[in-house]
A and B are shown apart, each in its own frame.
Chain A
Amino acid sequence: MKVAWWYRRLGIKRSRGLTLLEVLVALAILTLLMAVLMAGWLQATQAQSRLTDAAQRMQQRQQISHLLRRFVAEALEPVPGSGTVFTGDAATLTAESTSAPEPTAGAAPLATRLGFTGTPRRLEVLAQGQTSAEYPWRFERAAIAYVDEAGQGHDQWPPLQGLPIEGTQPARPLPSLVQFTLLLAGDPQALIVLAAPRAAGWWLPEPSPPIAGLEE
């Protein structure tokens, strides 16, 4: 036959085929290579999802810190006899502010309460007793602490004792620092937000955009 002749000429034994050993070796190599390929793929997918998680958590942290700092910074300094308040305990903080969480006309001081309620803790902002904003974040732990001008920490404001402080006569009715300790659900790292009230001069209102409008 002509084909057989060609095979002979090329030095190929026509019907030899592959031995079982050869096939097994080939399969082993193939499996090994595929394993490397799949592992690489898996790793890439995992890395991608971790990146997404981290980005989401970072955004949450940023939004929460921004909201809390704004709330504290815009709280009005209570002037004696004006009826303005700044009170708080470990879970809630009530302050008056000319910047409402929702857009309102005019700049009349508005009592706004920021609080952590329920289990797991949710952040809630109430203006004039009505829920004005709800946020999607869930906290495993949430605590507010207050630091006075002397550096003394308090669980509530105004503190039961310890005021007035020497040299700051009359005692400032605002804490010098508000400290939020938060643990977001699913976040291994606690979020600590220090927020300083910007006191005085609220008769010189500064226009500012509303707190609401945050989207996840």
Chain B
Amino acid sequence: MTDRTVAARGQRGLSLLEVLVALVILTGFGAALFTWAGQTLQSANRAVAMQLETDLANNVTELATSLNPALRPEGKLETASHRYRWRSTLLRGPVDQVRYPAGDSPFQVMLYSVQLTVTDLADGNEAFVGERIVAGHRLARPMPSSGLFGGAPSAR
């Protein structure tokens, strides 16, 4: 090949085919962006869903903490978005003579397994089903009216 032929080819520039091939490769990147965006959206949605689940589980734990199954073994609570229902079964007890600051405790304590079900009011689906172990107490003897802790509110 002579220098002239090289020069002649150099002036030819890019053929349409070459440009198109380059563009197709470029579009491949566009498609990759789509996939990436889709994955980002998916992970965002999953994160939000998990956060809502965690919120709900925390609320369930707080509700379980507030319960005294010895007095109310089952019941329900309705919030703006969910309905909480619980049922409890006795695991241990009742136990007498528990530690008390002054003398015998007037309370009996027991341990319950509390089954909680949370229904989403918007779509009627069960948003949470789970168990929490909760201590219950019951006044078994009259409260001492005197003494260091006489008349003090109940120990939970």
List B residues 25-77 near A (Cβ within 8 Å).
26-27, 29-34, 36-38, 40-41, 43-44, 47-48, 51-52, 55, 58-59, 62-63, 65-68, 71-72, 75-77
List A residues 37-88 near B (Cβ within 8 Å).
37-41, 43-44, 46-48, 50-51, 54-55, 57-58, 61-62, 65, 69, 77-80
**CB-CB nearest 7 A-B residue pairs:** A40-B33, A37-B30, A196-B66, A47-B40, A40-B30, A43-B37, A44-B37
Binding site for B on A (CB under 8 A): 2-3, 6-7, 18, 22, 26, 29-30, 33, 36-41, 43-44, 46-48, 50-51, 54-55, 57-58, 61-62, 65, 69, 77-80, 147, 149-151, 165, 167-170, 172-174, 176-177, 179, 181, 189-201
Q: Does B97 contact A (CB under 8 A)?
A: no
One of B27, B32, B37, B156 near A200 (C-beta < 8 A): B156
How far in angstroms is the closest Cβ of chain A from B152? Answer: 6
Write the B119-149 contact mask toward A (1 if CB under 8 angstroms, else 0): 0000000000000000000110001000000
Binding site for A on B (CB under 8 A): 4-5, 8, 16, 19-20, 23-24, 26-27, 29-34, 36-38, 40-41, 43-44, 47-48, 51-52, 55, 58-59, 62-63, 65-68, 71-72, 75-77, 79-82, 138-139, 143, 151-156
Question: CB-CB < 8 A to A149: which residues of B?
Answer: 68, 71-72
